[in-house]
Structure 1
Amino acid sequence: MRSKRKLKNVLVIILLTILCIIFLIPLFLMILTSLKSMPEIMASKFVLFPEKALFSNYIEAMQRGNWLGYFGNSFFVTALTVLISLILNSMAGYGFARIPFRGRNTLFFFALTGMMVPTQVTMIPVFINLKSFPLVGGNDLFGNGGTGMINTYAGLILPYIAGAFGVFLCRQFYMNFPASLDDAAKIDGCSRLTAYFRIYLPLSKPILATLAVLKASQTWNDYMWPLIMINNDEKMTIQVAVISKFVTEVNTQWNLLMAATAMIILPLLILFLFTQKYFVEGIVTTGMKG
């Protein structure tokens, strides 16, 4: 039995090592490409390792445009989106999981239908609604005459802050708590809101870390929505900037593009490293095993 168990563990380790290598290949190629010269990239034969590593590509890439401003825009939009999302999704999940009311399951079912609608389907209606938002961006009371939330941080943030998936994750997490916890809170004189802030929220680190990583990754990496909402350089996010600065109809500077991309993914890697423990725990405790 022990030999079979050891053999199984060895096979699992080998399989995970192979999968890890496969997943790291794109990252490895990105870094190698960022250190190459354009003739090496465009050569007729594939060049894996550069003859001379050009770390100057990173300096040159960061000199193309106001990257400090682009990073600042993305940090601001992502941080505010994550903060508001954690509050809204956790409170909604708490309500669906711990507060009994008529039609709760039906309402939750309709909330989940939002997970079945592709973002591309709702993109145009959301854009029209934000453009016609009353009394914003020069609009009158009926949403006419101005630009609404176009070219504003609010226009970037609002579509991200809520989502059926986040509500689902939080509900599944709060469903795991025993009913005696609510009874104890009621005996101590806690209202539902007090119980949420003083009992459930401090115990929510795993699911909030999980949701923070997922929401931050979605917001930080999104290209299409900022491209639609922002048309000036001042409020441009990094995903739009990296394409606009290095990709043209005539030529694509692949080495500079990969260098900028390598810099862009660093914040997400750091975030995941710091929240990895809670991230795994949050996925397990929501029942999404497998």
Structure 2
Amino acid sequence: MTDLHTARISASRSGNARRVPLGRIFLYLALTAGAIVMIAPFVWMLMTALKTNAEVSTFSWLPKEFHWENFVEAMNVAPFLQYMRNSLFIAVGETVVTVALSTMAGYALAKLPLRGSRTLLNYFIVLLMVPFQIILVPLFLIVKSVPLFGGNDLFGAGGTGWLDSWWGLIIPLAAGPMYTFLARQFYVSLPAELADAARVDGVGEFGIFFRIMTPLIKPALITMIVFQVEAAWNAFLWPLMITSSDELRPLQLGLAVFSQNPASIQWPYLMAGTALAALPMIVLFVVAQRQFVQGMANTGLKG
């Protein structure tokens, strides 16, 4: 009798364990639907890249025949390797400057006894709400008036400054306020005893920052790198404004080659180039996904 009762209890428990709550089923269905909505544009892009120009005009998901040569021909129509090198150089340059300046500023706001640090932090938070389009024209005028560059005199007049140069492509868009705020939030979460012990051992402030504190905020560093590389890789408006030579043209401007004439846009080549441009960012996010999610989850832990 006891064995039969025990068997019934075990069967009841296993049945409860197998029973999935109704709310979780709806959650899975909603997440699946959201994933399909997010993936659908990428699938359409790939399918369009494999069609002929005539097939694009008749809406259909699958091409009659897969034209893989579209990717090769898209690379030959424009100097895509040069555009990709330019975008890579801009992304690496902006990211290095951003990580260096933002981490130093974040550490100073979080750990150094600076007068007015709270006011500076509030200033960075306010800057987060300023759209880039508002500062676009002032930033252009500043870049054009950089002294002693591009034929300018000491007062920034007479030349082009940093226009159509690597300086103008990299420096103005590096070290945004979001990255300083992100770094500051992670430095605040670190115990002050680590820095105090290092000071007792005779380590300087820069050594504490570089050798002790910064290695402990790896998720924040990965998050800044992913955000900045993605922003620099996909930049279009700012390079369009300040560049005039094809040698400095980044990848997103290079894609405009296929859509210069609205009446005859080469959709297969455009989608093939777009797919090739999106691939490095997809790989970057997949590789850094775990640290990136951890960094975003811990951003607002402490004020």
In structure 2, runs of 5+ residues without a counterpart are 1-15
Matched ranges for 1:109-188 at <5 A? 109-188=122-201
Secondary structure of residue in 2 paired with 1:160: coil
Q: Does 1:30 align with 2:30?
A: no
* Matched residue, 1:214: 227
For the residue of structure 2 that corresponds to 1:142, the secondary structure is coil
Q: Secondary structure at the match of 2:47?
A: helix
Deviates more, 1:258-267 or 1:97-106: 97-106
Amino acid at match of 1:36: K
Q: For 1:10-47, what per-residue CA distance to the aligned partner results, in whole angstroms no more than 9, with x for missing partners? A: 4433332222111101111110111111111112xx21
Establish whether residue 284 from structure 1 lines up as the match of residue 284 from structure 2: no
Q: How many corresponding residue pairs? A: 286
Stretch moving more, 175-184 or 256-265: 175-184
TM-aligned CA deviation for residue 130 of structure 1: 0.8
TM normalised by structure 1 equals 0.93
* 2:277 corresponds to 1:264: yes
SS of equivalent to 1:250: helix
Amino acid at match of 1:21: I
Q: Look up the SS of the partner of 1:159 in the other structure.
A: coil
Rate the CA distance shift 1:176–1:5 in 2: closer, same or farther, 3 A. farther
2:66 aligned to which of 53, 56, 68: 53
Residues 129-175 of structure 1 deviation map (CA, whole Å, 9 limit, x = unaligned): 11111100111111112111111011001121111100111111111
In the TM superposition, 1:188-199 aligns within 5 A as 188-199=201-212
CA distance in 1, matches of 2:159, 2:201: 53
Q: Measure how far apart 1:272 and its partner are.
A: 1.1
Contact (CA 8 Å) 2:70, 2:269: kept in 1 or not?
yes
Task: Determine the C-alpha separation between the residues in 2 that align with 1:102 and 1:134.
Answer: 32
8 Å CA contact retained: 1:34, 1:255: yes
* Structure 1 position 89, deviation (Å): 0.6
The verdict on how the C-alpha distance between 1:58 and 1:195 changes in structure 2, with shifts beyond 3 A counting, is same
Amino acid at match of 2:300: G
1:151-205: CA deviations, max 9, x gaps?
1011001121111100111111111112222222222222221111111111121
Q: Distance in 2 between matches of 1:101 and 1:234?
A: 44
Corresponding letter in the other structure for 1:255: P
Runs of 4+ aligned residues of structure 1 deviating over 6 Å after TM superposition are none
**Residue identity opposite 2:209 in structure 1:** Y
- In the alignment, which residue of structure 2 is the partner of 1:18? 33
Residues 256-287 of structure 1, C-alpha deviation per residue, up to 9 Å, x if partnerless? 10000000011111111221121111112223
Task: Give the superposition deviation at 1:92.
Answer: 0.8
2: CA distance between counterparts of 1:242 and 1:23?
22
CA distance, structure 2, for counterparts of residue 186 and residue 122 of structure 1: 41
RMSD: 1.7
Take 2:66 and 2:233, find their aligned partners in 1: how far apart are those partners?
A: 29
Shift of 1:6: 5.4
Give the match for residue 253 of structure 1.
266
2:201 maps to a residue whose letter is: D
Q: Match of 2:77, SS?
A: coil
CA distances 1:117-137 after superposition (whole Å, capped 9, x unpaired): 111111111111111111001
The whole-number CA distance in structure 1 between the counterparts of 2:256 and 2:146 is 29
